[in-house]
Amino acid sequence: MKLVYKIWVEGKTKAFGEGPYELLRKVEQLGSLNKAAQDMNMSYSKAWSIIKRAEKELGFKLVESNTGGAGGGGSCLTSQAKTLLNKYDEFCSEAGEILTKLYNKYFSELL
Amino acid sequence: MKLVYKIWVEGKTKAFGEGPYELLRKVEQLGSLNKAAQDMNMSYSKAWSIIKRAEKELGFKLVESNTGGAGGGGSCLTSQAKTLLNKYDEFCSEAGEILTKLYNKYFSELL
DNA sequence: AAGCGTTATTCGAACATAAATACAACGCTA
DNA sequence: TAGCGTTGTATTTATGTTCGAATAACGCTT
């Protein structure tokens, strides 16, 4: 028996959480939304809609894309996206640590 | 923009979280699974399956039910269920407080 | 013994969500 | 100018969730 948690930010609907985080890290790494999607065994259209929804909700752009050209184009993160990812990193590691402690405090004996 | 989190306990599949918690509180309050389901605008069959799944995963009974008799019967919580609910209460309020602080620390300026 | 309101259980239908597919547009390259 | 790999978008398909109906059993009440 284990603790599971999902934490995200939302406006009118889900905006940013673990899914967008991982996807954006892959984009940063690979320079392409298409490659990122393939790497995560995800369809391009899903990857695309994840990012578009997040951008719409957050109110700022997460990726800067070029279509056509050498290599067909590509995508890279905006500086706002980069700082968001870094903040999210720190947030999650702190949160995970604390929640694990709380779980042990309250449930370890019971479950 | 706000922080949303869902926290639950799982074994092989979801076992106990917010949904079962609220439902069990209603059962405690109303003495009947049927009334609890109606009160939550939920079908009886859904309420029933929530509790059965939780019991199966957790490995102990959550409700004690009587069928027939005056008023048709009813359900009440086992003592294990009561302590589980109380622990969950404390867990959630502590967790919520801490997560809110963390959210403000990391995201309040950014989002 | 008939009636009542509950628990217990299963099943298919309806609905909502997620995912795959297909195709157009873009701009460099050769 | 044909081809490539990408982004962008709509349409279709698949998957999962939830509801509601149907049925049975139970034991008190009248």
Extract the tokens encoding B31: 């003495």
Is A54 a residue whose pLDDT tops 90? yes
pLDDT of residue A108: 87
Q: How far apart are CA A63 and CA A81, in angstroms?
A: 7
Question: Chains A and B: how many Cβ contacts under 8 Å?
Answer: 85
Q: Identify whether B7 is part of a domain.
A: no
In the predicted model, what is the mean pLDDT of residues A27-44?
Answer: 95
Q: How far is A69 from chain B (nearest CA, A)?
A: 34
Q: A68 CB contacts (<8 Å, ≥6 apart)?
A: none
Q: Identify whether B2 is part of a domain.
A: no
DSSP secondary structure letters along B48-87: HHHHHHHHHHHTS--EEEEESSGGGEEEEE-HHHHHHHHH
Q: Identify whether B11 is part of a domain.
A: no
pLDDT of residue A11: 86
Q: Identify whether A8 is part of a domain.
A: no
Mean pLDDT of chain A: 94
The reply to whether B33 Cβ lies less than 7 angstroms from strand C is yes
For β-strands A73-77 and A63-67, DSSP reports them as antiparallel
pLDDT of residue B11: 84
Please report, for the domain that includes residue B25, its CATH number. Answer: 1.10.10.10
**Secondary element (H or E) of residue A76:** strand A73-77
pLDDT digits (tens, 9 = 90+) for B22-47: 999 999 999 999 999 999 999 999 99
Q: Report the distance from CA of residue B84 to the C1' of nucleotide D28 in Å, as an integer.
A: 32
Q: Identify whether A73 is part of a domain.
A: yes
Considering only CA atoms, which residue is closest to the C1' of nucleotide D8?
Answer: A48
Q: Identify whether A108 is part of a domain.
A: no
Q: Identify whether B6 is part of a domain.
A: no
Q: Identify whether B9 is part of a domain.
A: no
Q: Do B110 and A89 contact (CB within 8 A), yes or no?
A: no
* Residue-number span of the structural domain to which B89 is assigned: 16-106
Q: How many domains does chain B have?
A: 1
Q: Is-above-0.95 flag for pTM? A: no
Across the interface, which of B8, B106, B110 has its CB nearest the CB of A4?
Answer: B8
In the predicted model, what is the mean pLDDT of residues B49-76?
Answer: 92
Mutate to test the interface with B, among A2, A6, A7 (most CBs of B within 10 A): A7
In the predicted model, what is the mean pLDDT of residues A13-42?
Answer: 95
Q: How far apart are CA B48 and CA B63, in angstroms?
A: 11
